Structure 1
Amino acid sequence: MTDTVSSTPVADTTPYEIFLSGNDDFLIPVVFPDYLISVADEQSFELWGVKIKTPAVKAPYLGHAGVILINGETGVTRYYEYGRYKNPKSDIPGNVRKVGVSNVTIKSGLITESSLLKVLKEVSLRSGQEGRISGVVLRGKFFSEADSWLRGKMDLNNSPDKIPYDLDSHNCMTFVIDLADAMGLDPAWKPPVVVPSAYIEQFQLSEIDLDYDYKTNKLTVSE
């Protein structure tokens, strides 16, 4: 095995070497740093007989997080995220959802660049407001365990005992941190207030970095 990092031209037949050859699984925590977070919904009310509508308020700079999980042997790929998604069966804010993405192609234990680019583009389009992606690449034997953990969290969406979403301490980023911690992957220190865009920068200091630009479809992986 090797700990070198290298990239190759985009081609279906060319492996994109992230790091550590072999068939270990991939867990890729991702953050959309430019994502606009909804902090207030659109409101309509009547005042002295006049109908008034206030626009929705969205905050920049906080970001939104999710996680890409890849089976290192088969290329089967999952994407999960946690947030204030509407759930008709629960009034408690905070739900896990699985977003459909393509599977990657594995050649000689490595992900081909073209197939990974396709997944990143799909994730950005469907969950990231077509914005940039910043992430880290973690390896290990955990696909089945991680997928089971994630599905278990999704099963709690309708539970009256689930922990409510909290913008500071129980959010999309803490969801990903808890997964990495449960898999024994030693995530970066979790502060009392977790901001996705700031946390991923801290995480990248100690792990392999992954940065993707939706507009240019360019991927950079570096130590």
Structure 2
Amino acid sequence: MPQAVQVATVATTPAADVSPIQVYLAADNDFLIPLVFPQFQIHVLDDYKDTWFGQKIKIEFPKAPLLGHAGVLLINGKTGESKYYEYGRYKGPGPAGRVQKGSIPNVKIVAGHITESSLKKTLRQISIGHGQSGNIKGVVLRGAVYANALVWLDGKFAENSDKTRKAYDLGNHNCVTFAAELAESVGFSAPFRSRTVAPTLYMTQFQLSEIDLEYSFADDKLEIDE
């Protein structure tokens, strides 16, 4: 189980990286960051497609705001190697619900801490590729978890080819429960999950007990608060 480590400072640093963001004093812990895109608009219902009298018909249902979408950022605390995974209703064979990986830049580690400019670059790329270029809310968890978390994530990714895998459920088997289950699998605590778990609301609950991360896409501003 990850060991609690002493909090140092949660202030971000100048863009010139005079000193790195110092979230914790320990220099040998990895970073697990469950995150949510609160402005992300999702399809609650899939668009309807059919052919009537030889004509193709498509009915697009409106997207739901406020629910958000979730993913997870995993960072090796020694090397800065960074991985992004998410779960959702992506196209593919088998039941609804698949894991996909993101192509993101690694962060830069200085004395066991992440530099602000490199973390902002990574978060910005995640937002562009997976978050509809919106803001990011998250929590920063630290522990010696990189190897075990990566095994868990790759195991879930491998389930994409398993036609008997558990199907996606908008209420309680979705993108944010994926992130919470990962956190629990490597020994962290996650908030209680009811029968209906909305990503944005769940992250608000998560932030009550953990270090908060807030990234504003429009002005490229990063804040990490206790």
Structure-2 change in CA distance of 1:81 and 1:46 (3 Å): closer
CA gap 1:73/1:43 in 2 versus in 1, 3 angstroms: same
Instruction: Write the letter of the residue equivalent to 1:132.
Output: N
- Counterpart of 2:29? 24
TM-score norm. by structure 2 comes to 0.92
Within a 5 Å distance, the mapping from 1:34-73 to structure 2 comes to 34-45=39-50, 52-73=57-78
Shift of 1:193: 1.1
Task: Out of 12-21 and 209-218, give the one that drifted further.
Answer: 12-21
In the other structure, the counterpart of 1:213 is 216
**Counterpart residue identity of residue 36, structure 1:** Q
- CA 1:65–1:179: 2 relative to 1, 3 Å: same
Letter in structure 2 aligned against 1:153: K
Whether the 8 Å CA contact 1:11–1:112 is kept in 2: the answer is no
1:104 aligns with 2:107: yes
> Cα distance, 1:18 vs. partner?
2.2
2:81 paired residue number: 76
Corresponding letter in the other structure for 1:135: G
Give the match for residue 9 of structure 1. 14
User: Which of the residues 156, 166, 185 maps onto 2:188?
Assistant: 185
CA deviation digits over 1:75-102, x for unaligned, max 9? 0000000001111xx2310001111100
Q: Tell which deviates more after alignment, 189-198 or 203-212.
A: 189-198
Distance 1:48 1:115 in 2: 55
- Give the fraction of aligned pairs with identical amino acids, expressed as a percent: 47
Cα shift at 1:13:
5.3
- What's the Cα RMSD here? 1.7
Note if contact 2:89-2:168 (Cα within 8 Å) is conserved in structure 1.
yes
CA distance in 2, matches of 1:211, 1:133: 6
Structure 2 unmatched runs, 5+: none
Instruction: State the TM-score, normalizing by the size of structure 1.
Output: 0.93
How far 1:51 moved relative to its partner? Answer: 5.9
8 Å Cα contact 1:13/1:112 also seen in 2: no
